């Protein structure tokens, strides 16, 4: 029988240790199939692996260790193995690390069993405490889902005995339940909306691509509020009719709540969810149901791309330009590009949706590699916001104030009419810099090349690089002067203070990821704001991403110049996207919206392009510039970051690599650097970067691998290779 091994087998094992090959084992009693999940011994430990092929034959198998057992889960499909191989080859990642992405199912080997679960019971407990109230709230917030004892206690931040106490009073119910219950069926014909002519045209194009059952990628571009979501849900419907599974990737887990509600309205039931906010029990269930083909639709973060779908027919990448699709730790993959890879292996469809596509995707549509559908107008009476600049050179502002008189009047007018205003500032915390007025020193992180940012709500200084924090000091750490530390510049918390002074009667809400303990709290806050619980919203980047605030009619961008300062070639593209996205938050219902951009350089070409809303012109200019410089998407880039505690050794290694560039020169690639990496020190480690630039159609990965293999990483030196880096 082909693909069945009863003597020996080659196994890809899942381990965090560096391991550049597959391992040979004796087959277990009864043999094993290709793709089977197995448990194998590795050193003193037992690890999970996948049977990747036949044993190599040139071993004395009597001396080799044996597969312990075959796990009781569906084997990994050929398609998935090939996806992991190709994704690994693209990102230059070893298979053991790839496998961690592809097998990240908690408790994979556990037999299905019964477990105690907890849900809301009846009545109030006779004695209510804070801890008890939190447990009841946690139960309530989970809706129909139920939690295990540990999960419920953790989610409420209490000990398990508090939960057990509530069970005794009857306010919480304890039940026996099988671990893996099925998902409710989605009905593709449940609640479809009547589409406008434009939308229908777009939807039928997606449906046709879906019905072809062949690989195709469509760029769905449409202004915010044009109905992109409605349209791609039609592609999902068609996919479900074909009996295939659909995956929708979202850039931000805070967005999933609103999205799940929409899916439920459209298909009559909720889809499966997969992201860091999902409980372990639920993840185990999703993983299994996806593998069995029972979960018809999954909504998730980028890692959902590695779920073991049985017959995946569609991958939607919503807000495809979003930089969070690029994983920046561990395996450096871009979920958007890997979605295209996975779909091309499977014969599935990819829909890339965005109001402001990435230059790469736009170019792929221009050259015909992707097809393209455009929605030009907003749905219904909602019209695009008017865009204006506020020339800050002409505004009079006291020091340490950032809301100009012009913006203040506009906010007052809107709030006075019962509408909402959003003040956007892409800076978390109270102030970006804390400075000693006696010695002039700024407080920096001990371990990173970054400033500490004051977070006044937390009463701490936080490093946004490594997450390290310390209490706000009373004396200057450099000169020990007392009471001389002063905040410099605005963060959202400081802006909120100013807004409270200027608008004493308004209800002000601050939306910033670090002010909310859990994804659930953030979700609750966003829902409340959408329903009108605030007059003025102060927010970071978080609010730019696709939330629907129907009452919002004014967006004020506090510092439009912020993104234009970096040396980053993508700065213009990012600023353009962010400003358009933020402005798109205004006027989504009946009332027309306005966006006002505070800027000191109203004549800057990017600001002018944003104002004119002339996207095609902006992209064309950007593409021309990239073409002239042979930069992506017209050339290829890879970043190589070397790190270590001794900066001299790190640079020596970098120089050594730069000198020995024959493997790269052979394919026409050039090395730049070594230079300090964009963040030159993180967690006490110095970082040095080399950039490799190559013509578009060369086998860059092979040359890179050969080049990198010339050096041996000694001691604490590390190298990480980033194909298609985001920052260049
Ligand atoms: P986008 O994804 O492009 O931002 P959405 O799909 O979220 O746009 O649509 C914006 C709003 O308009 C949503 O509330 C949506 O339900 C509504 N909408 C869009 N198209 C229709 C339609 N054909 N019928 C009814 N409501 C629609
Ligand atoms: Zn730090």
Determine the pLDDT at residue 523.
Answer: 76
Check whether residue 93 and residue 131 sit in a common domain: no
Please, what is the end-to-end C-alpha distance for the chain in angstroms?
A: 51
Buried-exposed string 490-528: b where 16+ CB fall within 10 A, e elsewhere: bbbbbbbbbbeebbeebebbbbbebbbeebbebbebbee
Nearest CA to ligand 1 atom 22: 195
> Residue 551: what pLDDT?
86
Q: From ligand 2's centre to the CA of 467, what distance in Å?
A: 6
Q: Tokens 């009079």 sit at which residue?
A: 396
Q: What was the pLDDT predicted at 84? A: 94
Annotated binding site: 436, 439, 445, 448, 463, 466, 476, 479
Q: Are 688 and 642 in contact (CB under 8 A)?
A: yes
Q: Is residue 457 part of a domain?
A: no
pLDDT tens digits along 202-224: 999 999 999 999 999 999 999 87
- Judge whether 297 and 186 are in contact, CB under 8 Å: yes
pLDDT at residue 262, rounded to an integer: 92
The answer to whether residues 218 and 228 touch, using CB atoms and an 8 Å cutoff, is no
Q: Which ligand is nearest to the CA of 229?
A: 1
Q: Could you tell me the CA-to-CA distances from 543 to 35, 344, 383, 659 in Å, in that order?
A: 43, 33, 20, 46
Which CATH number does the domain housing residue 140 bear? 1.10.10.10
- Label residue 468 by pLDDT band (50, 70, 90): confident
- Give the tokens for residue 177: 């339940």
pLDDT at 609 over 90: no
- Asked if pLDDT for residue 72 goes beyond 70, the answer is yes
Q: What is the pLDDT of residue 114?
A: 64
Q: How far is the CA of 174 from the centre of ligand 1 (A)?
A: 41
* Confidence tier at 340 by pLDDT (50, 70, 90): very high
* Res 144: pLDDT: 55
- At 252 the pLDDT is 79
Residue 49 has pLDDT above 80, yes or no: yes
Indicate if the pLDDT at residue 579 is higher than 80.
Answer: no
Locate 437 and state its tokens.
Answer: 């007025």
CA 230 – ligand 1 centroid, Å: 6
In tens, the pLDDT along 1-12 reads: 568 998 889 999
399 and 531: one domain? yes
Per-residue H/E/C for 322-342: CHHHECCCCCCCEHHHHHHHH
Angle of the 160-169 helix axis to the 149-156 helix axis, nearest 10: 110
Please report, for the domain that includes residue 712, its CATH number: 3.30.70.600
For residue 193, give the ligand 1 atom closest to its CA: 24
If pLDDT is split at 50, 70 and 90, which confidence band does 178 have?
Answer: low
Structure tokens at 551: 């009452």
Q: How confident is the model at residue 465 (pLDDT cuts 50, 70, 90)?
A: confident
Q: Are residues 415 and 518 in the same domain?
A: yes
Q: Kindly state whether residue 86 falls inside one of the protein's structural domains.
A: yes
> Do the domain assignments include residue 699?
yes
Between 600 and 467, residue with greater pLDDT: 600
Q: Of the ligands numbered here, which is closest to the C-alpha atom of 547?
A: 1
Residue 389, pLDDT score: 92
pLDDT of residue 414: 92
Ligand in nearest proximity to the CA of 467: 2
40: confidence class by pLDDT, cuts 50, 70, 90: very high
Q: From ligand 2's centre to the CA of 442, what distance in Å?
A: 14
Whole-number pLDDT of residue 66: 92
d(CA 108, CA 287): 9
What are 297-338's pLDDT values in tens digits? Answer: 999 999 999 999 999 999 999 999 988 898 877 788 999 999
Helix, strand, coil tally for the chain in percent (to 5) = 35, 25, 40
Is 189 within a domain?
no
Distance CA 616, CA 207 (A): 27
Classify residue 196 by its DSSP letter. Answer: P
Angle between helices 615-628 and 605-612 (to 10 degrees): 150
Query: Do both 49 and 10 map to the same domain?
Result: yes
Residue 446 located in a structural domain: no
Residue 73 lies in a domain: yes
Shared-domain flag, residues 408 and 501: yes
The ligand 1 atom nearest the CA atom of 199: 23
Range in 340-349, 383-392, 470-479, 607-616 with the lowest mean pLDDT: 607-616
Stretch 226-231: mean pLDDT: 94
Helix (H), strand (E) at residue 164: helix 160-169
pLDDT of residue 562: 77
From 225, 250, 320, give the residue whose CB has the most ligand 1 atoms within 8 Å, as the site to mutate.
Answer: 225
Average pLDDT over residues 357-386: 86
The tokens of 34 are what?
């290709």
Percentage of the chain surpassing pLDDT 90?
40
| Lowest model confidence (mean pLDDT) among 98-112, 481-495, 674-688 | 98-112
Mean pLDDT of 15-34: 86
Residues 167 and 203 in one domain: no
CA–CA separation, 518 and 723 (whole Å): 32
Categorize the per-residue pLDDT at 555 as very low, low, confident or very high, splitting at 50, 70 and 90: confident
Q: Which domain holds residue 647?
A: 635-723
Is the pLDDT reported for residue 246 higher than 90? yes
Asked if the model's pLDDT at residue 255 lies above 80, the reply is no
Residues 409-425: b if buried by 16+ CB within 10 A, e if exposed: ebbeebbeeebbbbbbb
Ligand 1 atom 26: the closest Cα is on which residue?
A: 193
Tokens matching residue 331: 């395996």
Q: Which of 219, 223, 226, 227 to mutate to test ligand 1, by most ligand atoms within 8 A of the CB atom?
A: 227
Q: Looking at residue 256, what is its pLDDT?
A: 81
Q: Are residues 693 and 713 in the same domain?
A: yes
The residue from 103, 125, 145 where one domain ends is 103
What mean pLDDT is reported for the chain? Answer: 86
Name the H helices within 292-389. Answer: 335-346, 359-366
For atom 19 of ligand 1, the residue with the nearest CA is 227
Cα-to-centroid distance, 386 and ligand 1 (Å): 20
Q: What is the CATH number of the domain that holds 90?
A: 3.40.1440.60
| Domain match, 154 and 276 both | no
CA distance 281 to 144: 14
Cα 463 to middle of ligand 2, angstroms = 5
Residue 505: what pLDDT? 93
628 domain-assigned: no
- Confidence class for position 107, pLDDT limits 50, 70, 90: low
Which atom, in ligand 1's list, is nearest to the CA of 318? 2
Res 184: pLDDT:
86
Annotated binding site for Zn(2+): 436, 439, 445, 448, 463, 466, 476, 479
Task: Give the pLDDT of residue 546.
Answer: 60
Closest CA to 23 of 101, 77, 95: 95
Strands across the sheet containing 23-26: 23-26, 8-13, 45-54, 37-42, 69-70
Q: Beta strand pairing status for 594-599 and 552-557?
A: parallel
Do the Cβ atoms of 287 and 180 come closer than 8 Å? no
Quick one: 241 and 288 in the same domain? yes
* Least confident span in 150-154, 160-164, 594-598: 150-154
Ligand 1 is surrounded, with C-beta below 6 A, by 193-196, 199, 222, 224-230, 379, 548
124 in the same domain as 93: no
Q: Which ligand is nearest to the CA of 373?
A: 1
For residue range 493-546, list pLDDT tens digits in order: 999 999 999 999 999 998 876 666 666 677 788 888 888 999 999 988 777 666
Provide the domain count of the chain.
5
pLDDT single digits (tens) 393-418: 999 989 889 999 999 999 999 999 99
For residue 230, the ligand 1 atom closest to its alpha carbon is 6
pLDDT for 376 equals: 84
d(CA 123, CA 8): 60
Helices (H), 347-404: 359-366
Residue 442, domain member (yes or no): no
Q: Which has the closest alpha carbon to 284: 160, 172, 151? A: 151
pLDDT category at 429 given cuts 50, 70, 90 is confident
How far, rounded to the nearest angstrom, does the alpha carbon of residue 485 sit from its chain's CA centroid? 36
User: What predicted TM-score, i.e. pTM, was given to this entire model?
Assistant: 0.78
Task: Give the residue carrying structure tokens 């790839």.
Answer: 98
The CA 302 to ligand 2 mean position distance, Å, reads 26
pLDDT at 264 (0 to 100)? 94
Report which of 367, 339, 341 is spatially closest to residue 353, judged by C-alpha positions.
Answer: 339
Q: Which ligand 1 atom is the nearest neighbour of the CA of 355?
A: 3
The predicted pLDDT at position 683 comes to 83
* 102 vs 596, higher pLDDT: 596
Can you tell me whether residue 693 is helix, strand or coil? Answer: strand
Among candidate residues 576, 596, 623, the one where a domain is terminated: 623
467 pLDDT band (50/70/90 cuts)? confident
183 near 335, Cβ under 8 Å? Answer: no
Q: How far is the CA of 450 from the centre of ligand 2 (A)?
A: 6
Q: Is 240 a residue whose pLDDT tops 90?
A: yes
For residue 474, give the DSSP letter.
S
C-alpha distances in Å from residue 140, one per residue of 135, 151, 172, 284, 316 = 9, 14, 10, 22, 31
Residues 307 and 395 in one domain: no
Is residue 18 domain-shared with residue 91, that is, in the same domain?
A: yes
| Predicted pLDDT of residue 680 | 78
ipTM of the complex: 0.96
Q: Which residues contact 249 (CB under 8 A, 6 or more apart)?
A: 300, 301, 302, 304, 305, 315, 316, 317, 318, 325, 335, 339
Q: From CA 105, how far away is CA 544, in angstroms rounded?
A: 32
- Judged on CB neighbours under 10 Å (0-12, 13-18, 19+), 181 is exposed
**Domain C-terminal end among 103, 136, 167:** 103
Atom of ligand 1 nearest to the CA of 194: 23
Mean pLDDT of 425-430: 86
The pocket of ion ligand 2, defined by CB under 5 A, consists of 445, 447-448, 463, 465-466, 468
CA of 278 to the centre of ligand 2 (A): 28
């Amino acid at each position: 029988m082909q693909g069945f091994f009863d003597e020996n087998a080659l196994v890809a094992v899942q381990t965090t240790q560096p391991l550049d090959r597959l391992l040979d084992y004796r087959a277990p009693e009864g043999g094993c199939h290709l793709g089977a999940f197995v448990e194998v011994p590795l050193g003193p430990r037992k690890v999970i692996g996948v049977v990747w092929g036949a044993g190599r034959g040139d071993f004395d198998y009597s001396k080799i260790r044996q597969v312990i057992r075959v796990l009781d889960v569906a084997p990994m499909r050929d398609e998935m193995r090939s996806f992991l191989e190709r994704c690994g080859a693209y990102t230059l990642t070893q298979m053991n690390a790839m496998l961690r992405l592809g097998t990240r199912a908690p408790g994979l080997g556990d037999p299905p069993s019964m477990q105690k679960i907890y849900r809301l019971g009846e009545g109030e407990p006779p004695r209510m405490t804070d801890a008890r109230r939190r447990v009841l709230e946690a139960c309530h917030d989970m809706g129909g889902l139920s939690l295990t004892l540990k999960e419920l206690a953790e989610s409420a931040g209490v000990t398990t005995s508090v939960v057990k106490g509530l069970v005794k009073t009857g306010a919480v119910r304890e039940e026996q339940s099988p671990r893996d219950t099925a998902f409710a069926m989605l009905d593709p014909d449940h609640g479809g909306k009547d589409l406008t002519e434009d939308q229908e045209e777009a939807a039928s194009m997606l449906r046709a691509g879906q019905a072809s059952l062949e690989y195709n990628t469509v760029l769905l571009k449409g202004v915010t509020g044009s109905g992109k979501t409605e349209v791609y849900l039609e592609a999902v419907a068609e996919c479900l009719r074909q009996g295939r599974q659909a995956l929708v990737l979202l850039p931000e887990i805070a967005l999933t709540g609103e999205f799940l509600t929409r899916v439920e309205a459209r298909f009559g039931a909720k889809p499966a969810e997969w992201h860091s906010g999902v409980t372990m029990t639920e993840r185990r269930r999703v993983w299994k149901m996806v593998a069995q083909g029972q979960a018809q639709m999954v909504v998730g973060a980028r890692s959902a791309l590695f779920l073991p779908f049985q017959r995946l027919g569609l991958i939607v990448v919503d807000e495809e330009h979003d930089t969070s699709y690029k994983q920046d730790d561990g395996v450096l993959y871009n979920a958007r590009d890997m979605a295209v890879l996975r779909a091309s292996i499977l014969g599935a469809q990819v829909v890339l949706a965005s109001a402001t596509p990435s230059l790469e995707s736009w170019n792929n549509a221009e050259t015909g590699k992707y097809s393209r559908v455009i929605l030009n107008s907003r749905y219904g009476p909602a019209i695009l916001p008017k865009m204006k600049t506020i020339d800050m050179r002409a505004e009079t502002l006291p020091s340490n104030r950032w809301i100009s008189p012009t913006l203040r009047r506009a906010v007052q007018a809107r709030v006075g009419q019962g509408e909402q205003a959003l003040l956007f500032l892409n800076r978390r915390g109270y102030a970006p810099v804390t400075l000693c007025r006696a010695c002039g020193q700024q407080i920096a992180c001990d371990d990173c090349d970054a400033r500490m940012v004051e977070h006044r709500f937390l009463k701490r200084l936080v490093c946004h690089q490594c997450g390290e924090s310390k209490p706000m000091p009373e004396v200057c750490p450099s000169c020990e002067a007392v009471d001389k530390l002063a905040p410099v510049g605005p963060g959202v918390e400081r802006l909120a203070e100013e807004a409270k002074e200027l608008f004493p009667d308004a209800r002000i809400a601050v939306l910033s990821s670090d002010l909310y303990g859990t994804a659930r709290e953030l979700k609750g806050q966003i829902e409340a704001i959408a329903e009108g619980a605030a007059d003025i919203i102060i927010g970071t980047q978080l609010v730019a991403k696709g939330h629907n605030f129907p009452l919002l009619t004014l967006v004020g961008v506090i510092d439009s110049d912020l993104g234009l300062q970096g040396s980053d070639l993508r700065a213009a593209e990012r600023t353009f996207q962010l400003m358009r996205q933020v402005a798109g938050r205004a006027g989504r219902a009946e009332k027309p919206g306005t966006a006002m951009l505070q800027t000191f350089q109203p004549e800057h070409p990017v600001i002018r392009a944003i104002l004119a809303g002339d996207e095609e012109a902006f992209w064309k200019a950007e593409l021309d510039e990239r073409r002239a410089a042979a930069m992506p998407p017209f050339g290829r880039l890879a970043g190589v970051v070397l790190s270590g505690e001794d900066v001299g050794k790190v640079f020596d290694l970098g120089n050594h690599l730069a000198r020995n560039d024959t493997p790269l020169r052979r394919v026409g690639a050039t090395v730049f650097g070594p230079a300090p990496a964009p963040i030159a020190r993180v967690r006490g480690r110095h970082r040095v970067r080399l950039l490799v630039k190559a013509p578009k159609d060369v086998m860059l990965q092979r040359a890179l691998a050969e080049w990198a293999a010339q050096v041996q990483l000694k001691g604490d030196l590390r190298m990480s290779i980033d194909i298609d880096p985001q920052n260049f």
